[in-house]
């Protein structure tokens, strides 16, 4: 998995060394020798990862990292701070500035590539979600901007068989979050499927395999995107590398530093909320793409796809499919006499009555204007006619209360009914027969159901 990496260091030899290592693994590398140039290149090139030296003259790495995270165009780029410093204060300062992790000079190649692979996977997921959200905004199905997505108040699941360590972690996190401790893996897996923002797992637990548990979470559809923070021994390099390779989002070295714990947890919770926001926007945009905004029913686009699959199955010997095509009688007179606002009220009320008189497996849709369809899987023509009559009677049987209850309108419908005939039938032919039934119902005086067999 390749990626575009921006290397930032004021010492050319360091830049060339990292460039050689990364290029040998087929990464695309660009570089900058100072903070201002790094900021400009990051905004212009939008790399996948930034490897950023801390000790630079003028503008140090901490300042550059903060500025990157303050810019909407670059805040989503993972930053790894590269430093000769290994002090607690420096790590915490870097994490609070928004860095994803630290690499200590001289750089361990195995840890470098493990971290780069891990962050590349994460960046690809976020990029795809952001691109889809941007597409939704361009076509107008997503509006507004994200609310403030902070990193506090998260629900954190702590999976650890070391009760003292788990209690200590929970006590530290309780200041800003809602921690829950679980020592049983089966129960922990169930809990992780719920409303959890982060899982902290002891990768060196004696009573269970923490990495196998992490891999299980990554392989499950319900927990695949859940952030995992693994607690590891800093001297156990193979375990740290394996953790990153199986999809753990971050590692926390033992002994656990409270401030470092707090900083890493805030970062993961914030990222989880942001990706959730993007996914929810995507789900919402997909729903809008197949839903009629006025009535809340599915639209013609969705109906066409579903009907095609059902008719194809029916023509190959599967269950029959029936279709109702419904037209509201004299709807133009309602619009002309009472206004389009009242017309919209009639459409919404009709949609409610329609949806309440069909089965759960049926598909009521707004076909266009005052026309509606109901696609009815596993339904014979005679049964479809009975349901159509029930809908007609429910619509005509009681007036529609509109204009804030000031007007009572009598509304009727004309319904055409058709069903699949076997091999050679098509969705277009099925709907055309139903449409023919609507015309006959209108010609006969409206407020009627007409069945059209092939």
The secondary element (H helix, E strand) that includes residue 214 is helix 210-219
CA angle 365, 368, 370 (to 5 degrees): 95
Q: Is 63 helix (H, G, I), strand (E, B) or coil?
A: helix
- What token pair was written down for 111? 């840890």
Neighbours of 339 (CB within 10 A): 13
Of 269, 388, 363, the residue nearest 310 (C-alpha): 363
Q: Return all residues near 45 (Cβ < 8 A) that are at least 6 apart.
A: 4, 6, 30
List Cα–Cα distances, 201 to 142, 196, 268, in angstroms: 36, 13, 14
For residues 379 and 320, is the Cβ–Cβ distance under 8 A?
yes
DSSP 90: H
Task: Tell me the chain's radius of gyration from C-alpha atoms.
Answer: 30
Residues acting as catalytic residues: 370
**CB-based burial label for 191 (10 Å; 0-12, 13-18, 19+):** middle
List Cα–Cα distances, 277 to 100, 130, 226, 267, 308, in angstroms: 20, 10, 14, 15, 33
The secondary element (H helix, E strand) that includes residue 32 is strand 28-32
Q: In sequence order, what E strands does 162-220 have?
A: 178-182, 198-202
CA angle 368, 372, 376 (to 5 degrees): 135
Bridge partner list, 416 = 325, 450
Q: Is 262 helix (H, G, I), strand (E, B) or coil?
A: helix
Of 111, 49, 45, the residue nearest 77 (C-alpha): 49
* Cis peptide bond upstream of 255, omega within 30: yes
H runs (alpha helix) in 293-448: 300-315, 331-338, 340-356, 381-397, 427-443
CA 368 and chain centroid, separation:
29
Q: Return all residues near 265 (Cβ < 8 A) that are at least 6 apart.
A: 151, 154, 156, 173, 176, 177, 198, 200, 229
């Amino acid at each position: 998995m390749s990626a575009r990496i921006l290397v930032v260091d004021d010492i050319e030899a360091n830049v060339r060394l990292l460039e050689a290592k990364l290029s040998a693994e087929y990464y695309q590398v660009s570089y900058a020798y100072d903070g201002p140039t790094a900021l400009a290149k990051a905004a212009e090139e939008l790399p996948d990862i930034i490897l950023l030296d801390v000790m630079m003259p003028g503008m140090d790495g901490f300042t550059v990292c903060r500025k990157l995270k303050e810019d909407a165009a670059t805040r989503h780029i993972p930053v790894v701070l590269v430093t000769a410093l290994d002090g607690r204060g420096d790590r915490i300062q870097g994490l609070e500035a928004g860095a994803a992790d630290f690499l200590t000079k001289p750089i361990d190649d195995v840890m470098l590539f493990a971290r780069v692979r891990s962050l590349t996977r994460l960046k690809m997921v976020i990029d795809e979600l952001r691109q889809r959200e941007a597409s939704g905004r361009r076509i107008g199905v997503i509006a507004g901007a994200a609310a403030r997505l902070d990193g506090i108040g998260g629900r954190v699941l702590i999976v650890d068989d070391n009760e003292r360590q788990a209690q200590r972690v929970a006590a530290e996190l309780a200041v800003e979050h809602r921690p829950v401790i679980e020592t049983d893996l089966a129960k922990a897996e169930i809990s992780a499927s719920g409303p959890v923002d982060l899982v902290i797992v002891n990768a060196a637990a004696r009573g269970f395999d923490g990495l196998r548990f992490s891999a299980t979470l990554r392989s499950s559809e319900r927990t695949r995107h859940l952030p995992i923070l693994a607690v590891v021994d800093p001297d156990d390099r193979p375990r740290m590398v394996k953790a990153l390779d199986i999809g753990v989002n971050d590692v926390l070295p033992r002994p656990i530093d409270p401030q470092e714990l707090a900083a890493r947890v805030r970062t993961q919770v914030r990222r989880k909320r942001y990706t959730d926001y993007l996914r929810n926007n995507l789900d919402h945009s997909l729903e809008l793409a197949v839903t009629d905004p006025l009535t809340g029913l599915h639209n013609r686009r969705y109906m066409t796809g579903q009907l095609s699959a059902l008719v194809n199955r029916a023509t190959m010997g599967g269950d029959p499919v029936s279709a109702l095509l419904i037209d509201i009688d004299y709807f133009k007179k309602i619009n002309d006499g009472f206004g389009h606002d009242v017309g919209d009220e009639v459409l919404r009320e009709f949609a409610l009555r329609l949806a309440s008189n069909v089965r759960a497996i049926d598909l009521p849709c707004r076909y266009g204007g005052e026309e509606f369809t109901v696609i009815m899987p596993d339904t014979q023509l005679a049964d479809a006619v009975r349901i159509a009559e029930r809908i007609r009677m429910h619509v005509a049987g009681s007036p529609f209360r509109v204009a804030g209850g000031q007007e009572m309108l009598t509304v009727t419908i004309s319904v055409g009914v058709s069903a699949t005939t076997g091999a050679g039938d098509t969705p277009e032919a099925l709907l055309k027969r139903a449409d023919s039934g609507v015309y006959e119902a209108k010609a006969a005086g409206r407020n009627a159901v007409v069945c059209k067999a092939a």
